[in-house]
């Protein structure tokens, strides 16, 4: 397995558009970013550029490819001008570029640096999202958000028993702009700061679950990244958790109440929030209590859950309604990313496990999902069917035509 690359893709995630064009069509295509991924192969005997293999994989995924064999089949069916536009080598001028075999795709992807690939993909998505949002009035836009959460690719179990587990950061529009793999002998906590170190997070509200409610993470976000945070506090932080539970909640008025019925559940959410001082959590100035009452429609079973959270945002920056919305939106990463990967791309059923191939297969799904979201495609499955009909469409989607 190759060593982790120290390469930094030019123009980190949030800094790509300091002088970015106003139109997404004027931005560099995905192929430009994939060309920055280091090639782990020796120069001798290298027939296919790495960027060509990666761009082929990226274009095959929105056309419905879920396996390495499907990527090779898409390449075999692609017209010569498509392969040429993706950077395919032409060894015989009269024949045009030659498609790759499945063995070649597998051999190259299983040695590709996954972190560098994810950085390239995230940079492209971040630039596109920023350019698309320039037309909106900045004064009317809320603070940008970033939800951090991890997911295990359950089918990709390696010979040593470890599984691929990427930690991803998703924007409010559902784009994964940063992703790193969690090593088998560690956990998500050690990857949190390296994941968020490259992008410009100034003024961004970062949400994460109780696992990452670490004081070091809070200081890192506020002091180093000049960002904000909203975090749920549970038993892994016993001192602030006891302090939050002991607050006189009855003296705080109910500030927000919402109700939603979906997936056979009727849920009522109530929130109380108040300014706090001397809480044992860095930079926290506001504490919240969220009470969730769920009722299973078919059985009538009722459950009650109380969760506590803190934030460095003042009440003027985010009132109780805003905090409740952002906590609720954080849970949306399950539906917007994890659910789509599992149902549309059958990621958990994937048996690709050699080297880093399983990780490299997971990375092209991010630009495919993100590009469809940027195109305001309401249904991912319909978007895949649209791209299956014409090999030129993925190139247009990724700005390569």
Residues 351 and 349: their CA atoms lie apart, in Å, by 6
Is there a single domain that holds both residue 188 and residue 326?
Answer: yes
Is there a single domain that holds both residue 246 and residue 267?
Answer: yes
pLDDT of 99? 81
Residues 136 and 147: their CA atoms lie apart, in Å, by 22
Is there a single domain that holds both residue 123 and residue 46?
Answer: no
Q: Is residue 19 part of a domain?
A: no
Per-residue CA distances from 205 to 147, 194, 201, 240, 376 (Å): 8, 17, 8, 21, 24
Q: Is residue 196 part of a domain?
A: yes
Residues 231 and 312: their CA atoms lie apart, in Å, by 10
Tell me the three-class secondary structure of the chain, residue by residue. Answer: CCCCCCCCCCCCHHHCCCCCCCCHHHCCCHHHHHCCCCCCCCCCCCCCCHHHHHHHHHHHHHHCCCCHHHHHHHHHHCCHHHHHHCCCCCCCCCCCCCCCCHHHHHHHHCCCCHHHHHHHHHHHHHHHHHHHHHHCCHHHCCCCEEEEEECCEEEEECCCCCEECEEEEEECCCCEEEEEECCCCCCHHHHHHHHHCCCCCCCCEEEECHHHCCHHHHHHHHHHCCCEEEEEECCCCHHHHHHHHCCCHHHCCCCEEEEEEECCEEEEEEEEEEECCCCCCCCCCEEEEEEEEEEECCCCCEEEEEEEEEECCCCCCCCHHHHHHHHHHHCHHHHHHHHHHHHCCCHHHCCCCCCCHHHHHHCCHHHHHHHHHHCCCCCHHHHHHHHHCCCHHHHHHCCCC
Closest alpha carbon to 368 in 14, 63, 13: 63
Token pair belonging to 79: 């017209």
Is there a single domain that holds both residue 200 and residue 339?
Answer: yes
Question: pLDDT tens across 274-313, in order?
Answer: 998 888 899 999 999 999 999 999 999 999 999 999 999 9
Q: Distance of alpha carbon 133 from its chain centroid, rounded? A: 18
Residues 16 and 145: their CA atoms lie apart, in Å, by 17
Question: pLDDT tens across 4-54, in order?
Answer: 443 433 333 333 334 344 455 666 788 889 999 999 888 887 888 999 999
Token pair belonging to 305: 């859950």
pLDDT of 355? 53
Tokens 């999202």 -> residue: 129
Is there a single domain that holds both residue 298 and residue 373?
Answer: no
Q: Is residue 22 part of a domain?
A: no
Is there a single domain that holds both residue 206 and residue 87?
Answer: no
Question: pLDDT tens across 331-359, in order?
Answer: 877 777 877 887 777 666 665 555 556 66
Residue 156's pLDDT band, with cuts at 50, 70 and 90, is low
Residues 246 and 158: their CA atoms lie apart, in Å, by 46
Residues 353 and 222: their CA atoms lie apart, in Å, by 38
Q: Is residue 21 part of a domain?
A: no
pLDDT of 18? 40
Give the rounded percent of residues in the chain with a pLDDT score beyond 90: 30
Is there a single domain that holds both residue 324 and residue 266?
Answer: yes
Q: Is residue 382 part of a domain?
A: yes
Tokens 């297969």 -> residue: 361
Q: Which residue among 312, 330, 349 closes a domain?
A: 349
Q: Is residue 105 part of a domain?
A: yes
Q: Parallel, antiparallel, or unpaired for β 176-181 and 205-208? A: unpaired
Summarize the confidence of residues 155-181 as an average pLDDT: 79
Q: Distance of alpha carbon 375 from its chain centroid, rounded? A: 17
CATH number for the domain spanning 233: value is 3.90.350.10
Q: Is residue 7 part of a domain?
A: no
Residue 103's domain spans which residues? 30-111+355-398
Sign of CA dihedral 278, 280, 285, 287: negative
Is there a single domain that holds both residue 272 and residue 249?
Answer: yes
Residues 90 and 53: their CA atoms lie apart, in Å, by 14
pLDDT of 390? 86
Is there a single domain that holds both residue 127 and residue 61?
Answer: no
Q: Which residue among 349, 368, 390 closes a domain?
A: 349
Is there a single domain that holds both residue 236 and residue 327?
Answer: yes
pLDDT of 228? 97
pLDDT of 25? 60
> 343 CB contacts (<8 Å, ≥6 apart)?
none
Q: Is residue 13 part of a domain?
A: no
Is there a single domain that holds both residue 37 and residue 56?
Answer: yes
Is there a single domain that holds both residue 180 and residue 308?
Answer: yes
The count of structural domains within the chain is: 2
């Amino acid at each position: 397995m190759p060593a982790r690359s120290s390469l930094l893709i030019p123009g980190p995630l949030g800094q790509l558009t300091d002088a970015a064009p106003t139109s997404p069509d004027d931005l560099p295509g995905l192929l430009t970013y994939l060309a920055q991924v280091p090639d782990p192969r020796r120069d001798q005997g290298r027939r296919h550029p790495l960027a060509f293999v990666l761009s082929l994989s990226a274009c095959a995924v929105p056309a419905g490819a879920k396996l390495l064999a499907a990527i090779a089949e898409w390449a075999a069916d692609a017209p010569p001008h498509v392969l040429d536009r993706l950077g395919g080598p032409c060894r015989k001028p009269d024949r045009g570029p030659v498609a790759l075999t499945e063995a070649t795709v597998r051999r190259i992807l299983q040695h590709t640096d996954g972190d560098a690939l994810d950085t390239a993909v995230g940079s492209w998505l971040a630039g596109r999202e920023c350019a698309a949002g320039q037309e909106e009035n900045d004064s009317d836009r809320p603070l940008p958000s970033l939800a951090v959460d991890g997911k295990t690719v359950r089918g990709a179990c390696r010979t040593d028993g470890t599984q691929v587990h990427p930690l991803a950061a998703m924007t409010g529009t559902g784009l994964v702009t940063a992703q790193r793999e969690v090593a088998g002998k560690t956990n998500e906590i050690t990857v949190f700061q390296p994941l968020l170190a490259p992008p410009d997070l100034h003024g961004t509200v970062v949400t994460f679950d109780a696992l990452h409610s670490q004081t070091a993470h809070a200081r890192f976000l506020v002091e180093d990244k000049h960002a904000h945070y909203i975090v749920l506090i549970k038993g892994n932080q016993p001192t602030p958790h006891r302090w939050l539970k002991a607050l006189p909640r009855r003296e705080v008025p109910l500030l927000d109440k919402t109700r939603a019925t979906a997936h056979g559940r009727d849920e009522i959410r109530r929130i109380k929030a108040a300014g706090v001082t001397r809480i044992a959590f860095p930079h926290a100035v506001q504490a919240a209590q969220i009470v969730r009452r769920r009722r299973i429609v078919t059985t009538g079973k009722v459950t009650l859950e109380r969760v506590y959270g803190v934030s460095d945002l003042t009440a003027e920056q985010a009132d109780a309604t805003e905090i409740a919305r952002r906590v609720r939106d954080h849970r949306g990463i399950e539906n917007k990313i994890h659910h789509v990967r599992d149902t549309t791309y059958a990621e958990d059923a994937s048996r690709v496990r050699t080297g880093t191939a399983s990780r490299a297969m997971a990375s092209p799904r991010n630009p495919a999902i993100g590009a469809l979201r940027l195109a305001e495609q309401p249904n991912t499955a319909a978007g895949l069917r649209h791209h299956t009909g014409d090999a030129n469409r993925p190139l247009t989607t990724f700005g390569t035509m």
